């Protein structure tokens, strides 16, 4: 296990700068997720940590040693790829033991370590098979076995679950979490799926356009997002945004929407934003209540019209038209409503987020 530190790291492809002076520390044994939309530079960052790509500027430091100039083989990191990248001509056993054979370990040592990794990942029965004879989940486990068998200083995961179906993805997510709990190896996990990041990681790094937007625990990011991008990225369904302006009335703060609706905002949420400044009002779908059903008696009320109901089983997702925009509301009470029916939504002032308009 090792700690990992990125110091003022930049990467440029031709004229295009894809990573901008990143500073990041991953503590020993920590599980860190890099999250962001496609093209934000998260996979590039992972490849730089692995040594597969060189940084244009800055350092990669592992356990206090600068490893920026070292090749992948010298860094002692293991990587799990999105495509699994198993060697098709080798059996599961040979795939898992490939690194050990290169390292020149004895046959007996290789066999015992492969066996141990196979047991951990429930692959013992499959050791003699070729990758083409395995299911997607089994291939993923072999890829993890190949990483695990080396006892690396760090695990790097590059969207390892994105080729699996939804059910298998949930199962593999649990397995990865269990595995990390057992081996406690420093891990960096790249994904564009915020649920995956939230459920797995100790801390999450949100990236956009090669810049870090915020670093924090899943709960911190959900509760205290730094900006509208982070707020919109974390949470499912995504946060609703409405344009407006911030109004000061004595000690009180209000978000005034385009139709004149006023929503009380706490000082904490208003932060440093000036009086009358243009803002984005953020309302999480699960914080909005349908007031007409007596389920929302908060001071903040928004009038709208029900446009659509999307039943998901345990809850309904309501699309409510407010200020000419559709807001998503999570209705856990499964109230009986009609399309085009006027509805009043309410929300606790503590849960009204405001961000300076871009």
Q: Rounded CA gap, 164 and 170, in Å?
A: 9
Q: In DSSP terms, which residues pair with 186 in a beta bridge?
A: 154
Residue 158 or 331 having the CB closest to another protein: 158
Minimum separation from the CB atom of position 31 to another protein (A): 19
Based on CB atoms, which residue is closest to another protein, 77 or 231? 77
**Total interface residues for another protein by CB under 8 A:** 23
C-alpha torsion angle, residues 109, 115, 117, 120 (rounded to 10): -140
Q: Is 12 in the site for another protein (CB under 8 A)?
A: no
Tell whether residue 111 is a contact of another protein (CB under 8 A). Answer: no
Residue 53 or 307: the one with the smaller Cβ distance to another protein is: 53
**Is the bond into 309 cis (omega within 30 degrees of 0)?**
no
- What is the DSSP secondary-structure string of 280-307? EEEE-GGG-EEGGGTS---SEEEEEEEE
Measure the CA–CA gap between 173 and 2, rounded to whole angstroms: 23
- By CB under 8 A, tell whether 52 contacts another protein: yes
User: Quick check: 72 binds another protein (CB under 8 A)?
Assistant: yes
Contact positions with another protein (CB under 8 A) in 132-161:
146
Which lies closer to another protein via its Cβ, residue 154 or residue 228?
Answer: 154
Instruction: Compare residues 190 and 255 and give the one whose CB is closer to another protein.
Output: 190
* 77 is a site residue for another protein (CB under 8 A): yes
- Interacting stretch for another protein, rule CB under 8 A, among 17-25, 82-90, 186-194, 276-284? 82-90
Question: The tokens of 38 are what?
Answer: 């496609």
Report the interface residues with another protein, using CB under 8 A: 47, 50-52, 71-73, 77-79, 81-83, 85-89, 98-99, 102-103, 146
């Amino acid at each position: 296990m090792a700690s990992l530190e990125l110091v003022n790291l930049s990467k440029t492809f031709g004229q295009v700068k894809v990573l901008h002076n990143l500073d990041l520390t991953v503590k020993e044994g920590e599980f860190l997720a890099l999250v962001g939309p496609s093209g934000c530079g998260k996979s590039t960052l992972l490849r730089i940590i692995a040594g597969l790509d060189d940084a244009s500027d800055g350092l990669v430091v592992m356990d206090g040693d600068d490893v920026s100039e070292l090749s992948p083989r010298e860094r002692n990191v293991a990587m799990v790829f999105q495509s699994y990248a198993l060697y098709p001509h080798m059996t599961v056993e040979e795939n898992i033991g490939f690194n050990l054979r290169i390292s020149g370990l004895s046959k007996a040592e290789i066999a015992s370590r492969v066996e141990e990794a196979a047991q951990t990942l429930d692959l013992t029965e499959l050791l003699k098979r070729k990758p083409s004879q395995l299911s997607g989940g089994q291939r993923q486990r072999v890829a993890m076995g190949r990483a695990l068998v080396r006892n690396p200083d760090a695990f790097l995961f590059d969207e390892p679950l994105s080729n699996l179906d939804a059910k298998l993805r949930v199962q593999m997510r649990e397995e990865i979490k269990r595995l990390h709990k057992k081996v406690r190896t420093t891990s960096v996990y790249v994904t564009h799926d915020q649920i995956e990041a939230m459920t797995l990681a100790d801390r999450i790094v949100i990236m956009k356009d090669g810049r870090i937007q915020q670093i924090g625990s899943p709960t911190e990011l959900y509760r205290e997002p730094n900006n509208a991008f982070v707020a919109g990225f974390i949470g499912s369904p995504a946060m609703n945004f409405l344009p407006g302006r911030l109004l000061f009335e004595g000690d009180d703060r209000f978000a005034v929407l385009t139709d004149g609706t006023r929503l009380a905002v706490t000082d904490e949420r208003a932060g440093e934003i000036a009086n009358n400044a243009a803002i984005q009002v953020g309302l999480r779908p699960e914080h909005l209540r349908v007031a007409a059903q007596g389920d929302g008696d908060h001071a903040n009320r928004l009038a709208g019209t029900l446009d659509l109901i999307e039943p998901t089983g345990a809850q309904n997702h309501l699309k409510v038209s407010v200020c000419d925009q559709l807001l998503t509301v999570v209705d856990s009470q499964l109230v009986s409503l009609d399309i085009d029916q006027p509805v009043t939504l309410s929300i606790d002032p503590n849960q009204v987020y405001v961000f300076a308009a871009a």
